[in-house]
Amino acid sequence: QVTLKESGPALVQPTQTLTLTCTLSGLSLTSSGVRLSWIRQPPGKAPEWLARIGWDDDKFYSKSLKTRLTISKDTSKNQVVLTMTNVDPVDTATYYCARDDRLTDAFDVWGQGTIVTVSS
Amino acid sequence: IVLTQSPGTLSLSPGERATLSCRASQSVSSSYLAWYQQKPGQAPRLLIYGASSRATGTPDRFSGSGSGTDFTLTISRLEPEDFAVYYCQQYASSPTFGQGTKVEIK
């Protein structure tokens, strides 16, 4: 059974850097074809895709947020990390990691999400 | 690619048929159109991928159709657990989601 769990700070001050971690179980980041994405959802709004990383370290970013995002993986810990620089209150959202299935081109497994509030 | 869902809210009774629309700003390959269900406090759940293929565990009362720029999610007979928000999503280019349709109890 594949499970994903997000972790990170609940509160971040404006202009700071946000670091989020997604820990995978039942799925290895080194397995061919594995891709993980980060997706966020502001309160009461639709999800917004942020970034993706593949088993081969191929990376893909949202054009609108590309300059602020870095996605990476730690295969020894089976974790995917997302950093977002210079956060603003509009970045307040629930942040999810999701498996990005190459066969279906859809997000078929989601973590429970972690709520991040940007406020001073 | 911008996805526009309609209606914003659908008020129906259990047992009724629900028809949800998703329109894309440019043509999307059917292979790259998915539908998700989201309940309060939960992550979205994949229902349909490839425009018409049901994901594992999706009941057969859910069906997807469409091509090009117009896609539809149909729930043949609403069950109490189907009242939720539904999102379409495309993966033809940088992934995007529609703004959602809320299916509420009338």
What is the pLDDT averaged over residues A93-100? 97
Contacts of A65 in chain B (CB under 8 A): none
pLDDT at residue number A105: 85
Largest CA distance in chain B: 37
Q: Say if residue B85's pLDDT is above 80.
A: yes
- The answer to whether the Cβ–Cβ distance between B55 and A105 falls below 8 Å is no
Q: β-strand A114-118 against A106-110: which pairing, if any?
A: unpaired
Contacts of B32 in chain A (CB under 8 A): 105
CB proximity under 8 Å: A 16-45 to B: 37, 45
pLDDT at residue number B56: 94
Q: What residues in chain B have their Cβ under 8 A from chain A's Cβ atoms?
A: 31-32, 34, 36, 43-46, 49-50, 53, 55, 87, 89, 91, 94-100
pLDDT band per the 50, 70, 90 thresholds, residue B29: confident
Digit-coded pLDDT (tens) for A20-77: 999 999 999 999 999 999 999 999 999 999 999 999 999 999 999 999 999 999 999 9
pLDDT band per the 50, 70, 90 thresholds, residue B95: very high
Q: Say if residue B93's pLDDT is above 80.
A: no
Digit-coded pLDDT (tens) for B31-74: 899 999 999 999 999 999 999 999 999 999 999 999 999 999 99
Q: Say if residue A4's pLDDT is above 90.
A: yes
Least Cα separation, residue A106 to chain B (angstroms): 6
Here the tokens at position B97 are 């989601």
Contact B63, B74 (CB under 8 A): yes
| Cβ contacts of B56 within 8 Å, gap of 6 or more | none
Q: Say if residue B22's pLDDT is above 80.
A: yes
Least Cα separation, residue B38 to chain A (angstroms): 10
pLDDT at residue number A119: 96
From residue B90, how far is each of A39, A103, B61, B70, B85 by CA, in Å? 14, 14, 22, 12, 17
Query: Which residue type, as a one-letter code, is found at position A98?
Result: A
| Cβ contacts of B19 within 8 Å, gap of 6 or more | B72, B73, B74
Spatial distance between the Cα atoms of A5 and B97, rounded to a whole number of angstroms:
22
Which stretches of chain B are assigned E, i.e. beta strand?
3-6, 9-12, 18-28, 33-38, 45-49, 53-54, 62-75, 85-90, 96-97, 101-105
pLDDT at residue number A104: 84
Express the helix, strand and coil content of chain A in percent, nearest 5 each: 5, 50, 40
pLDDT band per the 50, 70, 90 thresholds, residue A93: very high
Contacts of A96 in chain B (CB under 8 A): 43-44
* Average model confidence (pLDDT) across chain A: 96
Query: Which residue type, as a one-letter code, is found at position B97?
Result: F
pLDDT at residue number B50: 94
Q: Three-class SS of residue A68?
A: helix
**Percent of chain A beyond pLDDT 70?**
100
Hey, is the C-beta of A105 within 8 angstroms of any chain B C-beta?
yes
Query: Which residue type, as a one-letter code, is found at position A92?
Result: T
Q: Tokens 């859809």 map to which residue? A: A106
Least Cα separation, residue B17 to chain A (angstroms): 24
What is the pLDDT averaged over residues B86-102? 94
Spatial distance between the Cα atoms of B35 and B88, rounded to a whole number of angstroms:
4
What is the pLDDT averaged over residues A106-119? 97
